Amino acid sequence: MSKKQQQIADYLLADPQAFINSSSHELEARIGVSAATIIRFAQCLDYSGMDEMRVYVAQQIAHNEHSVELVVDAADTGASLEQKVLQLYRDATESLKETLETTAVDHAIALLQQAKRIYILGVGTSGLVAYDLYHRLNRYGKPTVYETDAHMNLEFVSQSTPDDVVLAISYSGLTKEVVLGAQSAQSRHTPVISLTSDGKSPLAQATDVALMIPQTEHLVRLAALASRAHTQIVCDILFAGVVKVALPKMQQTSIATNQLVSKLKIQ
């Protein structure tokens, strides 16, 4: 930047609210440069003019006001923890847009819709998400197989056929129980959908369709919660994609299940 442009930038960084609330001529007096120089400053940053730049600066101010440091502290109150976790979920939703490819999601949904049976692989935190998805798919009438015991789950996956689909979930892509299951399924020409953060991991290499989530757990914050949130969101998208094609039939299955379970409740 030129010396005068640097003056404008310094003022903007020091008091962005005053910058967007002032006209070019008001800024001229405060910064000590001409209004034309201020307008050229906005244009050199690829804005069409000051009006467009003010809009983007205002959006950034609003974002910063709502941002919180996602570190759990002993002094946190219920209110501060609520703010931090809500911010984490907002950030997780936005950051997922950067890694999750629409074409891969469409391909995965198409495979799941056509599958005779869905096998799910996942242990630890991924296993909790897998277990939830397993129950929801079965409840809506889509035959799905998942077992919390990793050894038994591998036994089940070894029965997969080309008419089935395997959904393998591992944030790192290194979980041996998941990678072995995916590799075994591929050897029988069973399509494998992976949900992972590392496109070069062993799991990604044993995959037909890779659904990528952001890499967050190298950050020392609430990162483990973020990876779980990313995984849960993607599974929710897949679930919605599966049930949408046969919703009337699946709704009847769900109603029947509710009616049966309700008989166990105290009247």
Arithmetic mean of pLDDT, 51-70:
67
Q: Between the ranges 65-74, 91-100, 110-119, 254-263, where is the mean pLDDT highest? A: 110-119
How much is the pLDDT for 221?
45
Answer whether residue 64 shows pLDDT above 80. Answer: no
Answer whether residue 233 shows pLDDT above 90. Answer: yes
Q: Is the pTM of this model over 0.85?
A: no
Answer whether residue 123 shows pLDDT above 80. Answer: yes
Answer whether residue 222 shows pLDDT above 80. Answer: no
CB burial of 8-19 (b: ≥16 within 10 Å; e: otherwise) equals: beebbeeebeeb
| 103 touches 159 (CB < 8 A) | no
How much is the pLDDT for 63?
52
Q: Please name each of the domains of the chain with its CATH number.
A: 3-66 (1.10.10.10), 93-260 (3.40.50.10490)
Answer whether residue 220 shows pLDDT above 50. Answer: no
Answer whether residue 37 shows pLDDT above 80. Answer: yes
- E strands, the chain, are 118-121, 144-145, 165-169, 192-196, 209-212
Phi-psi region of 55 (alpha: psi -120 to 50; beta: other; left: phi over 0): alpha
Distance CA 134, CA 146 (A): 6
Answer whether residue 193 shows pLDDT above 90. Answer: yes
